[in-house]
Amino acid sequence: MTRKVFNFSPGPALIPEPVLRQAAEEMLDWQGTGMSVMEVSHRGKDFMALHARAIADLRELLSIPPNYKVLFMQGGALAENSIVPLNLMGEAGQADYLLTGQWSLKSAREAARYGQINIVADAAGSDGSDTADAKGVYTHIPAQSVWKLSREAAYLHLCTSETIEGVEFQSDPVVGGGEHEVSPDVPIVADMSSHILSRVIDVSRYGCIYGGAQKNIGPAGLTFVIVREDLIGRAHRLCPSAFNYQVVADNDSMFNTPPTFGIYLAGLVFEWLKAQGGVAAIEAVNINKASLLYEAIDGSGLYQNWVSKHCRSRMNVTFFLHDERLNEAFLADAREAGLMNLKGHRVVGGMRASIYNAMPIEGVRALVAFMRDFEQRRG
Ligand SMILES: *Cc1c(COP(=O)(O)O)cnc(C)c1O
């Protein structure tokens, strides 16, 4: 059995084919135990070894410094929107939030239940120069020089990859404490759900990195948190124990039963990524994939992308047909050609091709060829 389609789903998303094959082969008999990995105790020797290896591989792939803990949690990125303020807002009772799209907007709204939220900049409509911004759609990241940072904030929250709009940070924020720099005393918290492991990042610029696994790592149900040790231990007294970074860290992510199958599959994805040459190697492939697609969009008379060029996402490529009446035909013909799940998010409309690490370049080539053909026939 082999795949018959290319799946551009934004998440839950594509998982590397060799990983699914290995999981299928081991489903009934994991490592000669005669049992599925789903059926064994998370505290057993074999599973504990798998868990430790998955964490070690993630640390290696992202060069995570020793003073950071890797936690495997549950609840997804949206639960972290509460878990982060409950753990990190502390005595300050306030935090800074940068708004660059739907996901950071959701994060800020949820955090407002726990304290004072300062919006450092809101990208919606703020540059006012093009139609997309005029419609209140997020299409750029405000320059760090215009962020209104507050020194009293417990942390600064960002979403470095806005999955819905296709807006992505192309470099880590500057930390230093100069006029336009984030103070080293205000840790940066980043939702990296949709681009974790897709590009090289400097973990030491961040106090906490989190996300759901179902975009670029594995199945839904697993949440990753990478948190600097000195930020652990400040949780609000009402923070549930299962969501308290201190409790989770002290119990090696096994305070309660972790999502064992998700951790197993994530571990296989980490091994697969190491075999591809690691994050720098996959980043080079991701650059090629995204360039192919953006060149096709920019060079056409039918398709357009609204995102400012310096913040276009490599993972989630959004585009719109000049004639929106062709949307349904485009999607139907794409499905016919085996190109699945290209419909944009309902808030933004249009199309979105999510081309995470697991999407081979052949998938992007097939999409580009289809788009050219469709434009010739219908454009
Ligand atoms: C998908 C996504 C979320 C939502 O994650 P859940 O796991 O559904 O809670 C949040 N933030 C970003 C950037 C996402 O891509």
Same domain for 344 and 215: no
Q: Are residues 120 and 58 in the same domain?
A: yes
Please give the average per-residue pLDDT across 109-119, as a whole number: 98
Q: Are residues 336 and 359 in the same domain?
A: yes
Same domain, 305 and 164: no
**Tens of pLDDT, residues 189-213:** 999 999 999 999 999 999 999 999 9
CA distance 27 to 29: 6
100 CA to centre of ligand 1 in angstroms: 14
Which residue's CA is minimally distant from atom 7 of ligand 1? Answer: 76
Across the range 160-174, mean pLDDT stands at 97
Residue 25 placed within a domain: no
Show the domain range for 332: 278-378
**Which pLDDT score is estimated for 127?**
52
The full 3-state SS of 88-123, as one line of letters, equals HCHHHCEEEEEECCHHHHHHHHHHCCCCEEEEEEEC
Tens-digit pLDDT profile for residues 25-34: 999 999 999 9
Q: How far apart are the CA of 44 and the centre of ligand 1, in A?
A: 31
- Tell me whether residue 18 is in a domain: no
Q: Is any atom of ligand 1 closer than 6 Å to the C-beta of 77?
A: yes
Do residues 326 and 239 share a domain? no
Task: Identify the CATH number of the domain in which residue 242 sits.
Answer: 3.40.640.10
Ligand 1 pocket mutation, candidates 165, 194, 197, 198, criterion most atoms within 8 A of CB: 194
pTM of the entire predicted model: 0.97
Phi/psi class of residue 155: alpha, beta or left (left: φ > 0; alpha: ψ in -120 to 50)? beta
CATH number at residue 326: 3.90.1150.10
Which band of pLDDT confidence, cut at 50, 70 and 90, is reported for residue 261? very high
For ligand 1, is residue 215 a contact (CB within 6 Å)? Answer: yes
Residues 80 and 112 in one domain: yes
Check if 312 has its Cβ closer than 6 Å to any atom of ligand 1: no
The answer to whether residues 190 and 173 touch, using CB atoms and an 8 Å cutoff, is no
Report yes or no: 224 and 242 within 8 Å, Cβ to Cβ: no
Q: Do 287 and 244 have their domain in common? A: no
Last residue in a domain, options 220, 250, 275: 275
Say whether both 271 and 285 belong to one domain: no
Q: How many domains does the chain have?
A: 2
3-state SS assignment for residue 32: coil
Asked if residue 367 lies in contact with residue 7, where contact means CB atoms within 8 angstroms, the answer is: no
Looking at the structure, tell me whether residues 108 and 252 fall in a common domain: yes
State which of 218, 248, 275 marks the end of a domain: 275
In a domain, 169, yes or no: yes
Cβ–ligand 1 contact at 196 (below 6 Å): no
